[in-house]
Structure 1
Amino acid sequence: MRQLIKKKTAVMPLATIALALALVSTILLYAHAESEPGPTPERDRLLPVATFSPEQVDQFPVTTRYTGLVQSRRAATLAFEPEGRVARIAVEAGETVTQGQALAALDTRRLEASLREVEGEIEATEAALTLAREEEERQRNLRSDGASTRRDVDRAVAERRQRQGQLNSLAGRRDRIQANLDDAVLTAPFDGVIAERRVEQGDLVAAGTSAFRILQPDNLEARIGMPATQARHYEVGDAVRLTIDETRVQGHILDALPEIDRARRTMTLRVALVDDGGTLVPGQMAHLHHQGSVSEEGFVVPETALTGARSGLWALLVAEPVADDRYRVRRVNVEWLNSENGRALVRGPLDPEMKVIADGAHRVVPGQAVTIVDQAEDETR
């Protein structure tokens, strides 16, 4: 029993010492934690935002896109001048042809028969004209001998003139038939490609019926319509930039057509195209980018800073200073006037010294406390 009491007496000082050490350690840790600076509840409520200062301007650069079509600078619609039946077709759409190459021909049997007929009439009329001239000469001789009257001479002169007129008329008919024979064979007026064939072998065509469309695919231009006030800014030879099927294409001004398009009320610019890759074809849409400006006073802000508002207006959120690095959000309604490349021209109660929240406006609301972490002035430049 005594031994047990001695053991308990020896253990108790050790337990007391361990408990004291643990208590001291706890006090020291708590004191160290109290000495560390930590965020206050007020600081935790400040949302960091980036701001910019709106740029005040009296002119705003804009790029206007005008649209037109790619066309061949040399193209023609070929038609048969005489009427007749198509006897032969020598080419198909898409084929390359050379100047003077025969494309199609009409049946010329009736024309050839008409030509032989008129040539026979010409031969008979020439013989009658020869007799009329001889008769006129004979009557003049008789008149000089007193064996003929003035009336007989006049009758001989009239007969000769009538035969001469008939011969001239027949010669005109012959030339017209010969021209129809020549035009019965349709030939290429220049080197190019057959873009379209509009007749079939055996078709009976009227005079003037178009048969082919031919163009030069490597000699292209764009015809762009724009207001006359803008077209006058360009001179022959000016370099321009176009977009065709999302591809940038270089060109230069050939000329401007001298009249206003009545349907669109625009003036047409002819632009020669540089097709280095051989990818352009007639009929594609071409867009010319015209660099200009509008005279309008306002402020330039990034489009991302604008949010929708009522009555057709837009809103900017402005950070107004409260104390030190604390700011309060306020809404400013503005009118959106124009935009270009992510920059918007607005009009409203703004000031170049204001701090406008650049983006993330959906994260804050008017009246909210914020702090500024960055001045994003470059976004409006």
Structure 2
Amino acid sequence: MNMIRTAVPVLLGLALLSGCKADSKAEEKKEEAAIPVEVATVTLGTIDAAYRGTATLEAENEATVLSKQSGTVEQVLVEEGDRVRAGQLLARLESDKLRFERARAQADVDRLEQDFTRLKSVYQRNLVSREAYDKTQYELSAARAAADLASLALRESEVRAPFDGIVSARYIKRGNLIQPNAQAFRITQMDRLRAAVYVPERDIHKLKTEHLVKLTVDAWPGKVFTGAVLLINPVIDASTGTVKVTVNIDAKQSELRPGMFARTEILYDHREQALLIPRDAVITEDAAESVYVVASDHARRRVVRIGYGDAGNFEVLEGLKAGEQVVTTGQASLKDGAKVQVVTPLKDEPAAGAAPAAAAQEG
């Protein structure tokens, strides 16, 4: 009898404990926390298909002007940044000796021309041998050639621009002693730029001449420049597996400069009324793409098929409909069927104590 009296309280305690655990589990399930996420709506829009790469802008015409003679630099007539015309004088070497040599050569020509004129009249009367006549004629021809060489050497003491352009570098100074083929200036045509983009051979069939090219550079953030495919090299570089594509850049875009690093997009297709979602919404695992679709405060994982993509969006070929909402931030915390709470991203606010922009400008 005493054993029965002792067992009853124990059983009652176990029952109460079991009931408390069950109530706790039910309460935990009831209070399942919603995961905050940001979403975007599947929309219809246009998208461009593009091959993206990088390139360094180059001048179509650029030349290093060399000194053709040795000598001391007497005058430097242009500076870096000056615009020059084809044939314009850029620098002059000391040329007194060259002028004297040309004068001496010309004097020899004048003397031999007089001798030849007299000898010719005598030869026509058969008063001089043919040998003497031919010898004088040869001497006159040699003297004329020597005079031409002296004139050429004098002209080459002047350094001139090969074409219209900008002086982009000056290598000489007044008083420098330079040798033949020494660098003097670099002339660049700023208004005719090109860029070389190296495209993998697997993508080359997509590209054609005249395809539009968009370019961006760090010097002008947010601004898009344009060009067009000019040439596609017919030969594949075996060492890299790429093909050189030459882009011609619109000459009216004066902000661009040779040597700038550019990000390029060669646009080879365009689609209207495409289903678009932000790039951030797509999850790629094992070469398959999926997204989380939000409906009735729950997120469901759905496999999708992706088409073209640009800097901000992907085209969806299968798996979504216009108007559906997809998660763009918070996917790492989600699993299929998880409860979610859609939140609005906070806008950037000025730091505490910062003065309004207008007030800062007025100050």
* TM bin (shorter chain): 0.5 to 0.7
Q: 1:231 to 1:124 in 2, by over 3 A?
A: farther
Amino acid at match of 2:73: V
The reply to whether residue 77 of structure 1 matches residue 86 of structure 2 is: no
Alignment of 1:1-381 (within 5 A): 43-45=30-32, 47=34, 62-72=49-59, 75-97=62-84, 101-130=88-117, 132-139=119-126, 156-188=129-161, 192-215=165-188, 217=190, 219-225=191-197, 227=199, 229=205, 232-234=208-210, 241-245=214-218, 246-251=221-226, 253=228, 256-257=230-231, 265-275=243-253, 279-292=255-268, 302-307=278-283, 339-344=309-314, 358-359=327-328, 360-365=330-335, 370=339
Q: 1:249 to 1:169 in 2, by over 3 A?
A: farther
Post-superposition Cα deviations, 1:148-199, rounded to whole Å, max 9, x if no partner, equal xxxxx8xx22332232122112212211211221221223456654221112
SS of 1:167 mapped into structure 2 = helix
Q: 1:316 to 1:265 in 2, by over 3 A?
A: closer
Contact 2:67 2:159 in 1 (8 A): yes
Post-superposition Cα deviations, 1:119-144, rounded to whole Å, max 9, x if no partner, equal 3432443344345434533437xxxx
Q: 1:127 to 1:211 in 2, by over 3 A?
A: same
In structure 1, what is the Cα distance between the partners aligned to 2:136 and 2:251? Answer: 61
Amino acid at match of 2:138: G
Name the structure 2 match of 1:3. Answer: none
Contact 2:105 2:150 in 1 (8 A): no
Contact 1:63 1:340 in 2 (8 A): yes
Q: 1:41 to 1:79 in 2, by over 3 A?
A: closer
Contact 2:209 2:230 in 1 (8 A): no
Post-superposition Cα deviations, 1:86-142, rounded to whole Å, max 9, x if no partner, equal 2222333234556665321112233223223323432443344345434533437xx
Q: Please say which structure displays the higher CA radius of gyration.
A: 1
Q: 1:287 to 1:84 in 2, by over 3 A?
A: same
Post-superposition Cα deviations, 1:310-329, rounded to whole Å, max 9, x if no partner, equal x6767656799xxxx797x8
Post-superposition Cα deviations, 1:203-235, rounded to whole Å, max 9, x if no partner, equal 333333331123454x34343435564552417
Aligned length: 301
In structure 2, what is the Cα distance between the partners aligned to 1:365 and 1:137? Answer: 115
Q: TM-score, normalised by structure 1?
A: 0.58
SS of 1:165 mapped into structure 2 = helix
In structure 2, what is the Cα distance between the partners aligned to 1:231 and 1:369? Answer: 44
SS of 1:172 mapped into structure 2 = helix
SS of 1:67 mapped into structure 2 = strand
Q: TM-score, normalised by structure 2?
A: 0.61
In structure 2, what is the Cα distance between the partners aligned to 1:284 and 1:261? Answer: 26
Q: 1:173 to 1:319 in 2, by over 3 A?
A: same
Gaps of 5+ in 2: 1-25, 344-363
Which has the larger share of helix? Answer: 1
In structure 2, what is the Cα distance between the partners aligned to 1:272 and 1:115? Answer: 48
Gaps of 5+ in 1: 1-38, 141-152, 375-381
In structure 2, what is the Cα distance between the partners aligned to 1:279 and 1:357? Answer: 40
In structure 2, what is the Cα distance between the partners aligned to 1:62 and 1:172? Answer: 64
In structure 1, what is the Cα distance between the partners aligned to 2:310 and 2:293? Answer: 22
